[in-house]
Structure 1
Amino acid sequence: MGLLIGSIGYGQSAVDSLLQELDATLADSKVYAEKKEVRIRELKEQLKAPGVDSMTRYGLYDQLFEAYRLYRFDSAMQFIFTKLEFAEATGRADWILDSKLKLSAVLTSAGMYKESLDHLEAVERELLSGTNLEFYYHTYKLLYESLRDYASDDTYAPYYDLKVRAYQDSLLGTLSPDSDGYLLESGVLLLSNGKLEAAEDIYRDIVNEREVPGTAAYARAAATLAHIYARQGQQGLQKKFRILSAISDIQAAVKENAALTDLAVQLYREGDIPRANRYIEFALADANFYNARQRKVEISEVYPIITGAYQMQIERQKAILGRYLGIIAVISVLLVIALVWIYWQMRRLARARKNLHQANVQLQELNQQLKEANFVKEEYIGHFLNQCSVYIEKLENYQKLVRKNVLAKKMNTLLEMTEPDAISQAELKEFYANFDAAFLRLYPDFVSEFNGLLDKGERVNLKNGELLNTELRIFALIRLGIADSNKIAHFLRYSVNTIYNYRAQIKNKSSIDRDQFEEEVMKIGAIPA
């Protein structure tokens, strides 16, 4: 999957597209977690293999620790202690130092600062060199950064900040100027000194050139860019890189993350409460799975605010729903009155049609008036029936919307009031029954005349109690002037392909030229000029 990065401006449509990508990634989160589990199981199986030498065993313990480090805190702790015990058993000083440093680092990320400091102070600085020395300074720097951010006051934070800068200088002094580590630490230093544009250039190079989307390193770099843009007041780019960071965290099965929480807070402030609630719920589930106190505490500070706002929004929607239900009740009464009136009008028109049929064919003027009245009648009935159909569809969609909103909070009582099939099916059955009765009052001989257009063995046989069936209703609508298959499908709640098939099947049974069949249907019940 390619995540394009580059433009300074970032529009809402691009952000919406990334949010959709994040939603799809969240939906597949179990797939990414299972990949992680498969890798962990493979490493554990290698540990069980006979004849594993000390070097390989130590490497497997380290790989298992790294696999769990950002995935599950308690398991990471288990394997770092196992790794440390094994290192001590072998007497390898470099392994012991490496294990202690990594133990301190994971304790810092979990908010266990005292324990982390205890382990660091137990490390003999004089024994360190190379990458262990670099990691020693880096771990101390991270610890004091965390303490500074945690204190966030005027008493202890400045002291911790001095410690951070001292260990940062030592770290930069040990790193090669050409290394990625030196580049990253330079970016951190620029950021802490307020040189945002220079820091932005470094982290843009990291996400564009040095790291691959879908990795923890990419997620960290994208999160730092989001922090830079937040300080610059560029909300669109801030949101973009928080989304990219969250996507990479999920794809890398990183449960110890902050990007999704930060994104939820930003969306909450922008008023996108449902999505903010969904993301903070997911972030809390990740924090519970990772099982480190610090991340849970951080999320607990914002979780009640976002979920409380979401609950308030649900309550407002319930109030609006109550008003809509009242409006629907009024409309339903008006529709019943309208149906009675239309039925009465159809009876009058049917009687007029019968009387006009019996009138003198020589009275051309009267006959023309009857045709005009018949035309108006057909157009009016067709329009009304279409409106009824549209209303029923809107009612169905409304019921589904209510169901969807309710399902999000499992409100069973309201669900029972808005079952999507109970009302619509009853209304459709009554609606079609009224249509059949009304149509046959206008065209009482429609069925027999329609069958007269078919081969004897192919004529339509109605079941007991049926006035019309689906095939007859299709051609009844055609007789009323509704020949568009889309409109017929909309009216009868079938797909357009189904309507095409019905029409084709009936035409194939015709006793006349199939191309003339619908023209002959239009003549059923017509009064000659």
Structure 2
Amino acid sequence: MIDLCVKFKKKENLIKSKILLGVTLLNSGFYKEAFDVTEKIDTSGLSRALKTDYLVLCARLNAGIGDYDNDAYFSRLYYKQSVDDFKNAEIATPSNDFEKTINLAFLPDSMKNKKLTPQFFYNLIIQRRMPEHTVAMVATRISYAYTDDNKILFLALAAINDIRSSTKETLAVFLLGQELFKLNKTADAYIFMQEAAKNAKFYGARNRAVQIESILPIVASKLIDEKQHEKDKLLIGFLMFVIVAVVLFFLLVIYRRQLLRIKANEQEITEKNIELENVNEKLWESSKIKEELIGLFFKTCSSYIGTLEKLKRRTQRNIKLGKYDDVNAVLNDVHIEQEKGQLYNTLDTVFLTMFPNFIAVFNELLKKEDQIWPKSGETMNATLRIFALMRLGINDLEVIAKILDYSVSTVYTYQIRIKSRALVPADVFEQKIMDIKFIDNRAVS
């Protein structure tokens, strides 16, 4: 285009082509070459529009090299020159109403009215229905007026419209990555930085590629550190979980052991209590039996003492009177067998009062044909009395024999014969006899 303009002597088109070349070199990162182009542009007699385009190019070129140098001394000079060039461009072509409204975003907060909010400028851009590339440029410019979430809002809007307009200049997505990195959103920042690097490579913007390459490793390093930190946290959390699980397991084991011990102790206590209850019941039963037997003993002894006393007096009186035949008559009135029978009947009555179901339970242990029941007029027979005395706790055969006026062998024979006919073993038979319940009729009544 420059060659054609020189050939056909089109000065205005020549300057326009040089400005476009300067913009291309600026965007490609060829700052020296861009400065060389701008220095060769003849600015005399330029139209207002071309002069404005020229000054904007110079302003952007000084701002770009200031960012590229990133030096406290030299960058300051370039930024100052950039500001002056923008001011001169404003003088050459004053901003229209829309541009003036956009510039209000850069006023100090103290000078802004209440309606100049980020949402106001966002709606202004959306509602104006501008081309996507223009929206991206306006949104990028407004983003410089804000920080944090508001800045991200406009940069995201600019990046979206760069994609919609197939623009690969990368500024918006690069700045968006930087802001996200500042807000410690490293994973998102890394994604945008990678996208910016791809765009810079595609577009050929060497200056932007250098900027991205200087920042991208830092972002990547921080992302790796964060992921490693997350892994460490996960590992620590897992280890803590394992430790807690192990501790809980041992606590559960200890708790289970203690619970088993408590249950065992409770079981032992229950068994001891049952044993004590059985012992107490047996002691109570024994005490009641002794009370009954002692009562029977004293009653019987008192009766016999009274009888002996009467017999003694009658005998002594007859001897004094010399009535020896009457003495024999008195002695003959004493019927030993009858007295024994009366004693046994009394013993049977007292025993069956204490153990009213003795005979029935006793016979349940025998076959029907071997069962022993008292005859008519009897309370108990000899066999039943032997086992009745055993139930009273008298196990000595000699004692039983003396009480019943039998020989020891006779008592032994009775026992062996009954045990051999029992439905249960001999030792079990004796235990069954001892298990026959004592009933206190007085307590029941």
TM-score range, shorter chain: 0.3 to 0.5
User: TM-score, normalised on structure 1?
Assistant: 0.39
Bigger relative CO (Cα 8 Å, ≥ 6 apart): 1
Q: Of the two, which has the highest radius of gyration?
A: 2
User: TM-score, normalised on structure 2?
Assistant: 0.46
